[in-house]
Chain A
Amino acid sequence: MFADGLPIARRIRPGVGRAIPRPGTQFEFLSKDVTMKIFKSLLLTAVVVAGTVVWAASPERYLHIKVNNPKTQELVRVNVPLSLAEKVIPAINHGDLKNGKFHVSNFNVQDIDIRALLEAVKSAPEGEFVSVQNPGEEVHVAKEHGQLVAHVNDKGGKQRVDVTIPWEVAQALISETTDNQLNLSAAVKALQSIGDMTLVTVAGEDESVRIWIDSNNSDK
């Protein structure tokens, strides 16, 4: 029954099979339950669509490498989409790289077990861990703002190297590995979640190198 009391059968045109609502009474025949169901469906659809749009719009992350030599006017720029690296690295089974893990033949560099060192640093408070100063070279290794930071100043070779490894990436590098492995695949995955930052800079007399992460598809 409609609000005006006419039975539905009286409102259906023969052969058409559709109710003809009067102006202003279009949705009055819908019960509250049906209205709520429609509303909920629309809300769910809106949430799904909005989620898809947000997911689709999440920007691609890039690993940029720039090598510049002003003297010889040489420039090399490499921009690697991290999603590409994440998929390709596990597929490489060549040489020391297998299943996304890099096998380092002698990980215990000069009797220092880097893996054990990273595990120890993980639980240590922030601060400088290593400081080596000699006439030709200065080395500083520290944990700063949750990042592993290393500065090397080679005075003889007039070269300065700064390396910043976010803690998540350092942890990922040694995750699910045996003694002589680095988990590159996990490290790349971890890089996806960190903010824009410079990972490595090498400033030499002739050449400079910069490796960094951001969401720009070019290094400009």
Chain B
Amino acid sequence: MILLAKIGVGVLGTAMVAGAALSSQGFIAVKVHEKRPDGTHLSLIVPAALVPASLHFVPKNDLKDAASELRPYLPIIDVAIPALEDCPDGVLVEVKDPQEHVFIQKVGGSVVIDVDDHGDIVHVSVPLRAAQSSIHQIAEANETM
């Protein structure tokens, strides 16, 4: 009985530590709502810490183009993201016309992008810190090639 309890505590503890590690960088939220009658409704919440880990499994060759495009902007990204993290929350950009409404804002440690156009409603929330580490990983993917 005591052994079972010890195993239970171990499993619970491991699960809690794993949960804490996964949620340490926040969550990426993606919601897509297609306005047509048979349209897709997608709602996805993924721990941001999973993204850099998942990128390890993406073939480096597939990241080649993105890496070469991102690399020149890394110094700017490295300055901009921490600076943005330090900024108070607020709307950064809003573009509105009769067909489309785009809204980019900073909420907590995340950048939130909302797009509402004639076809879809899209909501994306990305933790800034996770974005920075993922961008680095993509940019460095083909550095040695």
A binding-site residues for B, Cβ under 8 Å = 60, 62, 72-81, 83-84, 87-88, 91-94, 217-218
Nearest-neighbour CB distance to chain A for B26, whole angstroms, equals: 20
Asked whether B88 is an interface residue with its Cβ less than 8 Å from the other chain, the reply is yes
Interchain CA distance A94-B76 in the complex, whole Å: 10
Nearest-neighbour CB distance to chain A for B96, whole angstroms, equals: 4
| Chain A residues whose C-beta falls within 8 Å of the C-beta of B90 in the assembled complex | 62, 79, 81, 217-218
Whether B91 and A218, one on each chain, are in contact in the complex, defined by CB atoms closer than 8 angstroms, is yes
In the complex, 13 of the A-B residue pairs with CB atoms within 8 angstroms, ordered by the A residue number, are A72-B97, A72-B98, A75-B94, A75-B95, A76-B96, A78-B92, A79-B90, A81-B84, A87-B79, A88-B79, A88-B80, A217-B89, A218-B90
**Binary interface profile of B, 75-104, with partner A (CB < 8 Å = 1, else 0)?**
110111001101111111111111000000
| Chain B residues whose C-beta falls within 8 Å of the C-beta of A91 in the assembled complex | 75-76, 78-80
Q: Which of A72, A77, A83 makes the CB contact (< 8 A) with B93? A: A77
| Chain B residues whose C-beta falls within 8 Å of the C-beta of A87 in the assembled complex | 79-80, 83
Chain A residue at smallest Cβ distance from B80: A88
**Binary interface profile of B, 87-131, with partner A (CB < 8 Å = 1, else 0)?**
111111111111000000000000000000000000000000000
Q: How many A-B residue pairs have CB under 8 A?
A: 62
Known contacts A91-B75, A91-B79, A217-B89, A84 near B84 by CB under 8 Å: yes
Q: What is the interface of chain B mostly: helix, strand, loop, or mixed?
A: mixed
Chain A residue at smallest Cβ distance from B86: A83
**Binary interface profile of B, 48-90, with partner A (CB < 8 Å = 1, else 0)?**
0000000000000000000000001001101110011011111
Chain B residue at smallest Cβ distance from A91: B79
Chain A residue at smallest Cβ distance from B82: A87
| Chain B residues whose C-beta falls within 8 Å of the C-beta of A72 in the assembled complex | 97-98
| Chain A residues whose C-beta falls within 8 Å of the C-beta of B92 in the assembled complex | 78-80
Interchain CA distance A74-B78 in the complex, whole Å: 33
Chain B residue at smallest Cβ distance from A220: B91
| Chain A residues whose C-beta falls within 8 Å of the C-beta of B76 in the assembled complex | 88, 91-92
| Chain B residues whose C-beta falls within 8 Å of the C-beta of A75 in the assembled complex | 94-97
Q: Which of B83, B91, B93 makes the CB contact (< 8 A) with A88? A: B83
Chain A residue at smallest Cβ distance from B88: A60
Q: Which of A73, A81, A94 makes the CB contact (< 8 A) with B97? A: A73
| Chain A residues whose C-beta falls within 8 Å of the C-beta of B87 in the assembled complex | 60, 81, 83-84
Nearest-neighbour CB distance to chain B for A129, whole angstroms, equals: 37
